[in-house]
């Protein structure tokens, strides 16, 4: 696919997979709108991409977990005179621990960012894409979407929503010329696990953000509804079709079980 002179809005763009999407799309000639909470990190990235690739980069610091954030963001995009051709819904975070010991407000914030913001951004920018009969939406799900994840119950559920919603949207938009994809990374070398606050939440060998982005853009070009990043991760996500569900849940529980009982009751650190 060609991205030259198209505009991509990337959420969670300050670090990790979001920053890698921004770099790769800029290298392919796309202009960018970078969204995250950290203005300083976004500004540093924007200056680097503008100097390196000669593309236009706008920075819109936004906390997408706050009510009304997407509507305000859409208004800012309109004021900039920008048209969103590519939407990358990457922003998200997880918490580790049992639901009964969790901060309900923190869990609600997780759903707001991982689910509601994805839905609101999609419904905000998709109608114009279908009217133009071109555009791309990439939603970052997770290998956690394929089975319940005890001790990360809300995170797994939010990513199951992202995967299901995106694959359904892929079918709805096929006649419109808009491409839709859910990319499902496993453990990736990003600050994600610093936010989670528990190394046991990371299962398997970590891949790089650049590998995830390469997988996503190749799959978008192929026109598939979803893709799992990494062969080992892809094999693991096939297990729920072959093994009884109780067994899969038990395996997931043991994999990310807190190392001590105290860990279950510790809140995750503040997300970036």
| pLDDT tens digit sequence for 210-250 | 999 999 999 999 999 999 999 999 998 998 888 898 998 99
CATH number assigned to the domain with residue range 7-264, chosen from the 4 options 3.40.30.10, 1.10.10.1400, 3.30.1490.190, 3.40.50.720: 3.40.50.720
Token digits of residue 267: 């809140």
For the packed helices 39-53 and 16-27, what is the interaxial angle rounded to 10 degrees? 20
The pLDDT assigned to 17 comes to 97
96-149 pLDDT, tens digit each: 999 999 999 999 999 999 999 999 999 999 999 999 999 999 999 999 999 999
The pLDDT assigned to 190 comes to 65
Range of lowest pLDDT (59-63, 100-104, 189-193, 205-209): 189-193
Query: Catalytic one among 3, 155, 161, 165?
Result: 155
> Does 265 score more than 60 pLDDT?
no
Q: Supply the DSSP symbol for 185.
A: -
**Average pLDDT score over the chain:** 91
> Does 268 score more than 60 pLDDT?
no
Q: Report the C-alpha gap between 225 and 117 in whole angstroms.
A: 20
Q: Are 117 and 70 contacting, i.e. CB atoms less than 8 angstroms apart?
A: yes
Mean pLDDT of 23-46: 98
pLDDT tier at 78 (50, 70, 90 boundaries)?
very high
Alpha helices in the chain (DSSP H): 16-27, 39-53, 69-79, 104-111, 117-132, 153-173, 192-196, 209-222, 231-238, 245-256, 261-264
pLDDT tier at 192 (50, 70, 90 boundaries)?
low
> Does 186 score more than 50 pLDDT?
yes
Mean pLDDT of 11-40: 97
Q: Report the C-alpha gap between 127 and 25 in whole angstroms.
A: 22
Q: Are 256 and 149 contacting, i.e. CB atoms less than 8 angstroms apart?
A: yes
> Does 259 score more than 80 pLDDT?
no
The pLDDT assigned to 195 comes to 52
pLDDT tier at 205 (50, 70, 90 boundaries)?
confident
Contacts 24+ apart (CB under 8 A), 230-234: 230/185, 230/186, 232/186, 232/204, 232/205, 233/143, 233/184, 233/185, 233/186, 233/204, 233/207
Residue the block writes with tokens 């990439």? 138
Residue 155 annotated among the catalytic residues of the structure: yes
pLDDT tier at 201 (50, 70, 90 boundaries)?
low
> Does 158 score more than 50 pLDDT?
yes
The pLDDT assigned to 194 comes to 53
Q: Which residue has the higher pLDDT, 244 or 167?
A: 167
The pLDDT assigned to 271 comes to 40
């Amino acid at each position: 696919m060609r991205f030259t002179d198209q505009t991509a809005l990337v959420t969670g763009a300050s670090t990790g997979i979001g920053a890698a999407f921004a770099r790769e799309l800029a290298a392919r000639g796309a202009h960018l709108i970078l969204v995250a909470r950290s203005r300083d990190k976004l500004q540093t990235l924007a200056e680097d991409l503008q100097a390196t690739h000669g593309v236009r980069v706008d920075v819109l610091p936004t906390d997408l977990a706050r009510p009304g954030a997407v509507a305000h963001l859409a208004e800012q995009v309109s004021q900039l005179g920008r048209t969103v051709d590519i939407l990358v819904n990457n922003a998200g975070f997880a918490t580790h621990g049992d639901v009964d010991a969790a901060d309900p407000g923190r869990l609600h914030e997780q759903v707001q960012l991982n689910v509601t913001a994805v839905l609101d951004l999609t419904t905000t920018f998709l109608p114009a894409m279908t009217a133009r009969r071109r555009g791309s939406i990439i939603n970052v799900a997770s290998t956690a979407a394929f089975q319940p994840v005890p001790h990360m119950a809300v995170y797994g559920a939010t990513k199951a929503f992202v995967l299901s919603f995106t694959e359904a949207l892929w079918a709805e938009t096929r006649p419109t010329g808009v491409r839709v994809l859910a990319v499902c990374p496993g453990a990736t070398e990003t600050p994600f696990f610093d936010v989670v606050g528990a190394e046991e939440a990371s299962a398997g060998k970590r891949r790089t953000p650049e590998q995830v982005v390469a997988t996503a853009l190749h799959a978008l070009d192929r026109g598939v509804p979803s893709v799992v990043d990494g062969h080992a991760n892809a094999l693991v996500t096939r297990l729920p079709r072959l093994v009884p569900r109780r067994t899969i849940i038990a395996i997931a529980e043991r994999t990310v079980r807190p190392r001590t009982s105290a860990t279950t009751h510790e809140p995750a650190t503040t997300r970036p």
